[in-house]
């Protein structure tokens, strides 16, 4: 993937004051991305100096220069979870039938939950799913139904290392008829010990190609004494049975190298969270020459953009 020469394309300095909570913020990172109303939309994870987390939208006509709005996007119905909401973060965006679907993580007392909101605009997002049965994160909803059902990937947090926040080594697939009730279908992939992707989690929602579902994920190398290294890779999943892995990048396709990726709130992090694919006919699979824009959090501080094509990502999955 090629980094944009405008990187970091978005920083805390681009976030306007939004009284009374948001002013001179600490960071803007890990954005969800989609096409909405004929424009590119990023939903930013913004962290205030009080370490509150809010979502702020940013719009663009060229995918590089974003206009950050002075408004906070809310999700109605969070009180119905029965658990305190300390942070809602890493929103991943999917559009199905002109509806916006947001999958996100919620920090509650002693656990992280997967949640999904839906709405016809940023003004009426409403909570539709919230899973209290387990600690989990990095949920993404597929951009179309498969076999008549909604699908999502998520990453249960079953690994706690050295007192760190629990993380995970397995991405699983779940299915739903209504976006509200989800049933696990099975395991999709696991981390590879001592490789670049020991811990793993989904990046942006997958995209349908002529060869199957192409999915960008993050991998964490944990075998260094003092720091975890967050990188990006890709995997190709069967079109009809996405629990079946067809091919997976042996190496990372993006790793922290630039200063803004190496230094920040959490050093050595590239965290892909949004993806927009250009040049796809409605309802069609993304062709090999389609341009792919990947928006990622850099060092949990700002936003980077890396560009590639569907063909190059598929080739990277197959590389020996």
- Compare residues 130 and 271 and give the one whose CB is closer to ligand BMA: 271
- Compare residues 146 and 263 and give the one whose CB is closer to ligand BMA: 263
Hey, is 68 helix, strand or coil?
strand
Residues numbered 201 to 240 that lie near ligand BMA (CB under 6 A) are 230
Which token pair is 202? 């989904």
Where helices occur in the chain by DSSP H, the ranges are 259-262, 310-318
- Compare residues 55 and 150 and give the one whose CB is closer to ligand BMA: 55
Shortest Å distance, C-beta 139 to ligand BMA: 12
Which token pair is 13? 């300095």
Q: Which of 127, 269, 292, 316 binds ligand BMA (CB under 6 A)?
A: 269
Residues numbered 92 to 131 that lie near ligand BMA (CB under 6 A) are none
Contacts of 131 (CB under 8 A, 6+ apart): 113, 114, 115, 182
Shortest Å distance, C-beta 46 to ligand BMA: 13
Name the phi and psi angles at 259, rounded to 5.
-55, -40
Shortest Å distance, C-beta 165 to ligand BMA: 6
What's the CA gap between 260 and 263, in Å, rounded? 6
What's the CA gap between 21 and 222, in Å, rounded? 35
Q: Looking at beta carbons, which residue is closest to ligand BMA? A: 266
Report how far Cα 118 is from the mean position of its chain's Cα atoms.
Answer: 16
Asked whether position 262 contacts ligand BMA by CB under 6 A, the answer is no
Shortest Å distance, C-beta 119 to ligand BMA: 23
- φ/ψ region of 101 (left if φ > 0, alpha if ψ in -120 to 50, else beta) reads beta
DSSP letter, residue 52: -
Shortest Å distance, C-beta 310 to ligand BMA: 25
Residues numbered 278 to 297 that lie near ligand BMA (CB under 6 A) are 297
Asked whether position 30 contacts ligand BMA by CB under 6 A, the answer is yes
- Contact residues toward ligand BMA (CB under 6 A) are 30, 89-90, 167, 230, 266, 269, 271, 297, 300
């Amino acid at each position: 993937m090629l980094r944009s020469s405008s990187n970091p394309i978005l920083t805390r300095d681009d976030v306007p004051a939004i009284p009374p909570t948001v002013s001179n913020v600490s960071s803007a990172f890990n954005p969800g991305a989609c096409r909405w109303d004929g424009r590119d939309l990023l939903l930013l994870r913004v962290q205030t100096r009080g370490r509150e987390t809010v979502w702020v939208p940013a719009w663009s006509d060229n995918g590089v220069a974003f206009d950050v709005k002075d408004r906070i996007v809310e999700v109605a119905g969070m009180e119905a979870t029965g658990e305190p909401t300390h942070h809602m973060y890493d929103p991943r965006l999917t559009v199905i039938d002109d509806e916006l679907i947001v999958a996100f993580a919620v920090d509650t007392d002693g656990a992280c939950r997967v949640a999904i909101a839906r709405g016809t605009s940023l003004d009426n997002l409403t909570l539709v799913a919230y899973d209290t049965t387990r600690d989990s994160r990095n949920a993404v909803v597929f951009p179309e139904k498969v076999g008549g059902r909604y699908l999502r990937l998520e990453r249960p947090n079953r690994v706690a290392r050295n007192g760190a926040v629990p993380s995970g080594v397995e991405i699983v697939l779940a299915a739903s008829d209504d976006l509200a009730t989800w049933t696990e279908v099975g395991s999709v992939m696991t981390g590879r010990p001592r490789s670049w992707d020991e811990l793993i989690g989904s990046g942006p929602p997958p995209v349908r190609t002529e060869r199957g579902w192409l999915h960008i994920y993050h991998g964490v190398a944990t075998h260094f004494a003092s720091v975890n290294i967050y990188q990006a890779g890709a995997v190709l999943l069967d079109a009809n049975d996405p629990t079946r892995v067809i091919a997976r990048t042996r190496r990372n396709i993006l790793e922290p190298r630039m200063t803004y990726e190496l230094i920040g709130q959490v050093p050595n992090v590239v965290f892909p969270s949004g993806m927009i694919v250009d040049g796809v006919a409605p309802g069609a699979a993304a062709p090999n020459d389609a341009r792919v824009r990947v928006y990622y959090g850099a060092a949990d501080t700002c936003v980077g953009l890396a560009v590639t094509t569907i063909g190059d990502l598929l080739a990277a999955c197959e590389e020996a």
